[in-house]
Amino acid sequence: SLATIATPKRPSCPCTAAEIFSIMRQEALQDSQEEPALASFLYSTIMAHQSLTDAISFLLGNKLGNQAFLDTQLMILFRKVFSACPKIESEMTADLLAVFTRDPACEKYSQPLLYFKGFQALQAHRVSHHLWGQGRKALALALQSRVSEVFHVDIHPAATLGQGLMLDHATGIVIGETAEVGNNVSILHHVTLGGTGAHMGDRHPKIGDGVLIGAGVTILGPIRVGIGAKIGAGSVVLNPIGDHETAVGVPARVLKLKKEVKKAQEEQPSLNMDQTSFINEINWSDYNI
């Protein structure tokens, strides 16, 4: 549920797309008054629309459009998909709340929509995933290719992603065809959820709810990363990681944490984005490459 996405940082977050978009319109109006050079941009992307789905359709259409893939065609496509699959709007709302509550650099609800390419790429993937599920694979792949070119985020349309996700910075993220990502997961830039060969079938990682994956992590093969796990930056994960475990290194090894530290992590580390507080609680003599 969306209630699980809020954190103490912002305890009174609105929960519906309509409530959030109403606040976005107020923010856009204020920003346009303070920065007149942005008035036309903010009007066309937010204030001219009546819903979050209409606004993201317009924004993605303009960002992804080119001479062969017209922006008006893309806007119509996005709106049709959002209308046919209302679940995407609730997932998008959860994603936006995830960014707002977890990223201290995000000061307004409108910022992920307007400026954060991880959020934008994720919503485009949700559309391509819907198209893939409808058997429209050529169009889904064309959209994926364009998203990769524009945002430098490459997520196969068949990959299954939960809600409440944050792709932080997002540059260089690659997620393969049979990958599965749970709810409330945070993924930083240059993360790869990859396969391990040319064989068909299940060959990509399965990421549990509440997982935090640091920058530059590579996870290979159809292995499971358990609920509430934490993967340190730059790690290469080749073996399964259990629930609420912390793994670092090349190849990644599970760290032996004190019981009280592990207990504190047993919620969802993706929500507080804490990547280093455990360092002083490790017996490093047990950790050898």
Task: Tell me if 158 sits within 8 A of 178, measured CB to CB.
Answer: yes
pLDDT of residue 268: 83
Which residues in 186-231 belong to E strands, given as ranges? Answer: 186-188, 192-194, 206-207, 212-213, 218-220, 224-225, 230-231
Side chain identity, residue 25: R
Residue pLDDT, tens place only, 28-77: 999 999 999 999 999 999 999 999 999 999 999 999 999 888 999 999 99
**Burial bucket for residue 105 (CB in 10 Å: 0-12, 13-18, 19+):** exposed
Helix 117-133 with 52-64: angle, nearest 10 deg = 90
Residue pLDDT, tens place only, 106-148: 999 999 999 999 999 999 999 999 999 999 999 999 999 999 9
Side chain identity, residue 106: C
- DSSP character at residue 276: S
Residue pLDDT, tens place only, 227-245: 999 999 999 999 999 999 9
The mean pLDDT value of the chain amounts to: 91
Q: CA 54, CA 76: separation in Å to the nearest integer? A: 10
Residue pLDDT, tens place only, 195-216: 988 888 999 999 999 999 999 9
Q: What is the pTM of this model?
A: 0.90
72, 75, 79, 85 alpha-carbon torsion, rounded to 10°? 130
Task: Tell me if 209 sits within 8 A of 199, measured CB to CB.
Answer: no
pLDDT of residue 257: 72
Reported confidence tier of residue 266, pLDDT bands at 50, 70, 90:
low
Q: CA 104, CA 96: separation in Å to the nearest integer? A: 13
Residue pLDDT, tens place only, 158-184: 999 999 999 999 999 999 999 999 999
Give the chain's end-to-end CA distance (angstroms, integer): 41
**Burial bucket for residue 243 (CB in 10 Å: 0-12, 13-18, 19+):** middle
Residue carrying the six token digits 């391990």: 196
Q: CA 175, CA 219: separation in Å to the nearest integer? A: 10
* Statement: residue 99 has pLDDT above 60: yes
